[in-house]
A and B are shown apart, each in its own frame.
Chain A
Amino acid sequence: MSEWVIDAEALVKTYKMGEVEVHALRGVSLKVRPGEVLSIMGPSGSGKSTLMNLIGCLDRPSTGSYRLDGEQVSDLSDDELAEIRSRKVGFVFQSFNLLGRQTALANVELPMRYAGVARGRRQRATEALEAVGLGDRLRHRPNELSGGQQQRVAIARALVNSPSIVLADEPTGNLDSKSGDEVMRYLLGLNKDLGTTLVFVTHDPEIAARTKRIVRLFDGEIVEDK
């Protein structure tokens, strides 16, 4: 295993909105060790979503280099990025993003299908759901689950391929404080039990307070890293 799980050098991301160029990131460098837990904070428009997209390999930087788990990913093709995502990255979204017509089990199995896991998918998905305390909800569909439970299904889905990093984008944004707290406990528990690197993207100071390291972004640049 390499020294850094996230090793970003001078990431720049520029969008063209019509004639105007928008500089979403202006040279961000970030190094994260395996097993670290950090929050990326900043007001809207500070570039934290863009940074998350780059870290999660959903997008490529305009310039700069990015190594994920030792692999250079800043100039891969779309399908190569998809492959990296399926092996190394887990996502937890604010709005859960579960497939509404599929059972919890099928939702958790989805990443394994795309990763080409042929055998033992059901077994692994069941274990992942048990790990988030949903062993008795395997056959439920999202609309039969509470918000907190749905988010836990999403966590199980993020975990099931044993990724190097889990990216959580405002994971408690749509939840009441009690289930939000539960979700946080499960996420942090993962880090403790499995050593998964956790990156929160949030502007909730309470979440940030529970992480050891806080990176603050402003206008596309890192202004604080502690």
Chain B
Amino acid sequence: MLSLLNFYEALDSLSSNKLRSALTVLGIVIGVGAVIGIMAVGAGAQNTITGQISSIGTNLLFVLRGGTEDIRNPKPLTIQDAEAIADPFAAPSVVGVAPVLQDTLELSYAGESTFAQSFGVTSSYNSVSNLALSEGEFVSEAHILGRAAVAVIGPDTAETLLGRREGVVGETIRIEGQPFRVIGLMTSRGGSGFGNQDNQVMVPLSTAQTRLMSRGRDRVDMIMVKASSPETVPSADLEIASILRTRHRTPIGSDDFTVFTQEDFLTTAGTITGVLTLFLGGIAGISLLVGGIGIMNIMLVSVTERTREIGLRKAVGARKRDILFQFLTESSLLSLAGGLIGIALGWGLSLIVGAIAAASDTDLTPSVTLDSVLLATLFSAAVGLFFGLYPAKRAADLEPVEALRYE
């Protein structure tokens, strides 16, 4: 006998004790609000990270030294490895190769100093990594051959050192104390905090080798490879592997190098943020559980208070399920109301987080997904049903004679 009348009756009974109902609902509100808010921020973070990885280039592969843990004495990657991969006959899927040296170095200019991710690059890096310049030019073959002391810097780096984001070409900055002339400025690719892509500096590979990042002869830290299209990434992966296996003379199954694709990074980043979101959401879910226990508590009190009413209803013909539905309607209404208010609260929270992120120049836009809203609604209704079931069952099982006699 689930009808509109039951609904009104439950509403009436809940509003007869407004403060108590409000406090009970609050538990669910906080739980659902926290879940929605955290899921929204998590989804935002995931979008940001995915966007950043994609902005590096869509069909990139990264070759790094070292294979699985038990490979001893992995051979270093060299410029010659990079040249071999660039051979169009051995690797037809590859259209560009960029060997890279990488380190975090101190930059300074007129008393300002900062640390930036620094790369020693060849002239091909530009096209391989989809790097665009807003002014000046990129590192050229002539710079490599002449080991020129020139640098291309990111917009955030320019901002920190020179106090402006344009007109920086021609300035001379110091990298690890040595003077470098700025020849180019990268366009902003978005990014923030750790691994900020806008706070970087690029110098010629040869200059980096001799003056900034001393490595063994011809060694490089990473080889970036561009496949001809996203579809040829898997074949490029195979081609690179076969070239390096031959050159490093490694037995099958014990590669001393690792090839990462963009896809790998996306998957890994997605997994990490997903696990984090789930973990935080789980903690928030515990507060939902506590809210549910609050509902159970209040419903038990309510059943005791209304024992005579239950007795009377039974005397005039209420069956067990009539009483059961009556109390379940009340508890579900409590938790559903809490769920709806909680969704609004979570939404509000995610907007606030977004506003704070925007105010502090952090690229994070929390997004409340339909999934999380549906999940929260369903979950809160389920909490109401689950925690309402025991009190309602207790009410339904009251003996009419006993209940009528109850003082």
* A and B found bound together: yes
Q: Point out residues on A near B: beta carbons under 8 Å.
A: 53, 56, 58-59, 78-79, 82-83, 85-87, 91, 93, 97, 99, 101-102, 110-111, 113-116, 157, 161
Nearest-Cβ distance from residue B198 to partner chain A, whole angstroms: 65
A82 to B314, Cβ gap below 8 A? yes
A52 to B322 alpha-carbon distance, docked (Å): 24
| Residues of chain A within 8 A of B313, CB atoms compared | 110, 114
Task: Report Cα–Cα, A83/B322, bound state, in Å.
Answer: 12
8 Å CB contact of B404 from A82, A87, A93, A115: A93
Q: Is B320 an interface residue when CB atoms closer than 8 A count as contact?
A: yes
Across the interface, name the chain A residue whose C-beta is closest to B16. Answer: A101
Q: Within 8 Å of chain A (Cβ to Cβ): is B2?
A: no
Contacting pair A91 B316 (CB below 8 A): yes
The answer to whether B319 touches A101 (Cβ under 8 A) is no
Q: Mark B306-326, 1 if CB is under 8 A from A, else 0.
A: 001101111111111110000
Q: Which residue of B lies closest to A56 (CB)?
A: B315
A58-B315 in contact (CB<8A): yes
Among A53, A78, A85, A102, which residue has its beta carbon within 8 angstroms of that of B316? Answer: A85
Q: Which of B311, B314, B315, B316 has the most CB of A within 10 A?
A: B316
A82 touches B317 (CB 8 A): yes
Q: A101, B12: Cβ atoms under 8 Å?
A: yes
B110 CB within 8 Å of chain A: no
- The residue on B at minimum CB distance from A95 is B308
Which residues from chain B sit less than 8 Å from chain A, CB to CB?
A: 1, 5, 12-13, 16, 308-309, 311-322, 399-401, 404
Cβ B315 vs Cβ A91 within 8 A: yes
Q: Please tell me if the beta carbons of A82 and B308 are within 8 angstroms of each other in the complex.
A: no
Contact A101 B13 (CB under 8 A): yes
Q: Are B320 and A79 in contact (CB under 8 A)?
A: yes
- A82, B399: Cα distance in complex, Å: 11
> Is B1 a contact of A113 with CB atoms below 8 Å?
yes
Tell me the bound Cα distance from A111 to B312 in angstroms. Answer: 10
Name the contact of A113 in the complex, choosing from B5, B400, B401 (C-beta under 8 A): B5
- 17 residue pairs from A and B, CB less than 8 Å apart: A58-B401, A58-B404, A59-B400, A59-B401, A82-B314, A85-B315, A86-B316, A91-B316, A93-B312, A93-B404, A97-B311, A97-B315, A101-B12, A101-B13, A110-B316, A115-B317, A161-B317
**Distance, CA A114 to CA B9, complexed state (A):** 14
Closest to A54 in B: B401
Residue in B closest to A161 when the chains form the complex, CB atoms: B317
| Shortest distance from the beta carbon of B145 to any chain A beta carbon, whole Å | 92
Is there an interface contact between B16 and A114, defined as CB atoms closer than 8 Å?
Answer: no
Report which residue of B309, B399, B400 has the largest number of chain A beta carbons within 10 angstroms of its beta carbon.
B400
Among A93, A102, A111, A113: residue with most chain B CB under 10 A: A113
Is A53 a contact partner of B12 (Cβ separation < 8 A)? Answer: no
| A53 contact set on B, CB distance < 8 A | 401
Task: Write the nearest CB–CB distance from A159 to chain B, whole angstroms.
Answer: 11
Are B312 and A82 in contact (CB-based, < 8 A)?
no
- A114 adjacent to B404 (CB under 8 Å): no
Q: Which residue of A lies closest to B399 (CB)?
A: A59
A78/B315 contact (C-beta < 8 A), A58-B400, A59-B401 known: no
A82 partner, pick from B5, B13, B16, B318, beta carbons under 8 A: B318
Determine the chain A residues whose CB is within 8 A of the CB of B322 once the complex forms: 114
The 5 closest A-B pairs by CB, nearest first: A86-B317, A114-B317, A111-B316, A97-B312, A79-B319
Given contacts A58-B401, A58-B404, A101-B13, contact A114 B312 (CB under 8 A): no
